[in-house]
Amino acid sequence: MPERCCDPVPLNTVLIPYDDIRALRTALAGDSANTRTVVIPTSVPPLQLVRSGAHLFGRAFFFSEPGGLEFGGLGATWRTVASGPGRFSILEDEFAAASLPRGVRAAVGFSFSEDGPKSDLWEGFGAAEVCVPEVAISTSVGGGYELRVTVAGGQSADNILSVLSDLAEPGRLRPPEPGNHTVEARPSTLDWQREVDDAVDAIRSGVVHKVVLSRSVVVKSEVPVPPFDLVHHLGTGHRGCYIFGWQVGDAVFLGATPELLLAKRGRSIVSNPLAGSARRGVSDEADQGIGAELMASTKDRSEHAFVVDDIRDRLGAITDELVAPSEPSVLRTAAVQHLSTRIHGTLSDGVSLYDVAASIYPTAAVGGSPRQQAQVFIDKVERLDRGWYTGGIGWTDAGGDGTLALGLRCGLVRANEAHVFAGNGIVAESDAERELLETRLKLRPMLNLLSAT
């Protein structure tokens, strides 16, 4: 349950107008054995809600799609966790069995490993989770925003509405403060380059065709910045990306990822794998030249093909129709250009969002090819616990629609310490020094945000 604020909020600073609180209180009066939900229009953006109230709740969530839906939530009216090879089907079964009210949207997140994170760094983050917030604001169908309060069966709405009435507008956005920072690579850059060399040797000997290797950088700052302020800054600087933040206790997993794992609307499915990367240019002309080199790169085209072919084959088994362009395009983000292929399809009857996730994840963009051999190599060689990095994060609803993005260009922030992650797909033509430089490009947006001087 959230903590109740001690002092009343001045009238001119309340986040949720008192008229709205009264309307919610009337609609949710009394008790019920069933879970209840009430929706009203609001002018409060989802991230404002989360910035205002995340410190009062053990759990908070934000997710936005490029130019589309925004969804922010506080608390947990209902949640379930699952691990192991059947984690997605367990989530689906338990979400369906919960018989939640129509229209309820839930946050979804999961780790790279089907067994979940292994280190204390990721304490509280399970192998897979679905969570229905107590309070949520999301983009409404007709435009604008809607505020939803969901109360579990047998519970009174009084406490959550009291907390809502005490929420103040969040303070001014804080940029990363000038100050001293320490930055440490884990593993060391030399050790990571050795991992790349080992991977190239394994690929050339036929053990595996492609493998993705990850590394992290730890940033320690004198002054912590509220994590959901960082989420806002990522959103303004990376408008073409999926922006996310998932809070568990005092830790927030956050980032701005360009890669869509899957989006399901009815029977329509979209997946947008990215693989093969290059730097941005200093001008449009330079960008186009670098992009042309990326399109012509045998190494990058090979890396990209492994990912697309694998997803296309797996989706082919669960779709009635599937369209995948024969040539990739170039997708430009703030710091990196990627080879991109947008795959569209029509799912076969009865195929759920969870079925699709179980089929295509982990993609060759985050694991490797063949899948099992790449996973064995990663478990043997990689020196970090990825946790939710390269996992999935997004939303689903009771109707079976949803969006899941891959957890990339991201970090785990706790107080004044942040662990930032990046990785590359390694193929036979890979060079360890060039791969290291590529990870630095991918780390740059988060590092620039965290280590302002």
Report the C-alpha gap between 312 and 335 in whole angstroms: 28
Nearest to 424 by CA among 257, 291, 300: 300
Given 134, 210, 303, 438, which residue is catalytic?
A: 210
Region for residue 49 given its phi and psi (left: phi exceeds 0; alpha: psi -120 to 50; beta: otherwise): alpha
Nearest to 110 by CA among 307, 356, 405: 405
Read off the amino acid at residue 289: G
State the DSSP code for 28: T
Residue 359 token pair: 């089929």
Report the C-alpha gap between 261 and 363 in whole angstroms: 8
Let me know if 220 is a catalytic residue.
no
Strand, helix or coil for residue 433: helix
Nearest to 117 by CA among 403, 425, 391: 391
Query: Quick count: other Cβ atoms within 10 Å of Cβ 450?
Result: 22
**263 Cβ neighbours under 8 A, 6+ residues apart:** 269, 270, 271, 402, 403, 404
How many Å from the N-terminal Cα to the C-terminal Cα in the chain? 38
Q: Report residue 343 CA to chain centroid gap.
A: 20
Report the C-alpha gap between 268 and 261 in whole angstroms: 14
Let me know if 299 is a catalytic residue.
no
Given 65, 259, 303, 382, which residue is catalytic?
A: 259
Name the residues annotated as catalytic: 210, 259
